[in-house]
Structure 1
Amino acid sequence: VFLQTLIKCSVLTKIHIVFDCMFVFTVFTGSSAVTPVFVQKGKDVTLDVMKDGFHELDVVLWRFNINSILVRFVPGKEPIVSDVYTGRVEFPQKKYSVTLKNLQESDSGVYTAQLIGSAETQTVGEHKVTVQGRFVNTETLINTPVSPVKLTVDSVSSSSDSCNLTVTCSTQDSDITSRVTCDTTTCHQEGGESSKVTTSGASLRLYLVNSTINCNHSNQVSWTNDTKETGQACLLPPGKNQRDWTDLSSNHW
């Protein structure tokens, strides 16, 4: 009962509180179906919600790869576009739909529409957008399995209270390198998730989930994945000015 009352009050009286509360208190429900979309570099894409019958006080968010907010639809206000997308977003006639202009390869990823209700957050639209730098036959992409990936640790630098990793996610024709930094309890990836479209038109992603580094290669019909635990990658014999990093996974989140 407390959960429902808290979030409902936030929607009615102070809308922006919803965005802070939902990460901790709300329950995510809705369809897990993802619509694949292929877009040529420099072109536009329109993202539609897959639901009708919205209520007057509904709040809708469009997110990019979950972590970044693209736009907020708040009752009684004009749509609020995040600074990073200023000048690149238009609003077609269909309610809660958005058009993202001049797509670049860095815009490849999953765009999710979330309905913030009084008791739960519901997914009402999800599109996996692949931005292609050149013309690719989508029929060939859809019927061709992706090649395996390999996640390698290029370098490790550790001290008594930190561990710095340089890692590379690679496939036959592409690779991504990123840096992961851990302290005694948490890890973060510099710059957040890294992704690119391979020459075959598939998606290559390097990202951190809790204490696990993920390397993923995928298209619409297949995917390959390789992972490494930061606690193992940072492992050092305990000694002066060093620490045993094997407990990182259990301490992290």
Structure 2
Amino acid sequence: MALRLLLSCILLTTGFSAEISMLVQTGASLQLDIRTQEKLPDFDDFSWKNEKSENIAKYSSESKKVKLHDSYKNRVDFNNKSFSLTLKDTQKTDSGVYTAIASGQSDNNIVTYRVSVIDAVESPVLAVNSSWSSPDPCSFTCNGRYIIISSIYNSSSCSPEEVTSSDNHILRLNCSGDSIMCNYSNPVSWKNDTKKVNELCTVNQGPERLQAKEASLHLLWLIPVCLFTIGSLVVFGKLKKGAQKNEQTIYAEVDDNNKPQKSLEMLKKSENPQTVYDTAKDPGQTDVTIHTTPNDDHMNQVNVKQ
């Protein structure tokens, strides 16, 4: 207990203060303030030093001028009224300890910062699991760098999840309505990937809906077959009707002993096809009846008697 009090007294008399942690994204600017409500002690020089004890910026109370370190020129700004220091376009190499010191008859540490320059997170990726297949419930992954969450979207929801890595990166998964959201963040940045469920995967629709969908696909295949069949019937009907218009039929009643020679000769001379039917009569008499059907469907009858 006595040792702890002694250390506290030493810190107070020498002006040391606790470190203040500051996080900044790579490429961004960071302002370091003196953060004191009290008036600064009298000093000859005020400087900001890095952990290598290099004077990044040194201000003289006598000349009112600021001298910048060669390696920080064009990369820092010093405010000679607030005594703050701004680091511009920060890089990973800028991570470290920065201390503001007021120097006079003694050095007084005004404030100390521990700066960490962190890269922004990469965009997460929502993707379907390679093992998933329809019509099973949609199985997908929310993938951040070094962190993966696997989940299932069933009916209209999925279980919200959150995973934090050892380097303070956080991956969050959530579903809202028909949207799936994957958020990836660290202390200086965050990004997300949001997709509609039907963009990501086909949700299980149940056996009845699947059967209806398959039946509709079969009906689509039947349409061209039906059209082809109907077209064939129409063409065949037109051809048959045309053949019937050109057909002529002759009915002849003939005797077994006497053939209707005249009628046959007339048939041979005819330009249109004819059909002869013979019917046996009493001996000595031959009746030949010729029925012709011309193209105008008018029936002509020719009776030949011998």
TM-score (norm 2): 0.34
Structure having the larger proportion of residues in strand: 1
Structure with bigger gyration radius: 2
Structure having the larger proportion of residues in helix: 2
The structure showing larger relative contact order (alpha-carbon pairs under 8 Å, at least 6 residues apart) is 1
TM-score (norm 1): 0.40
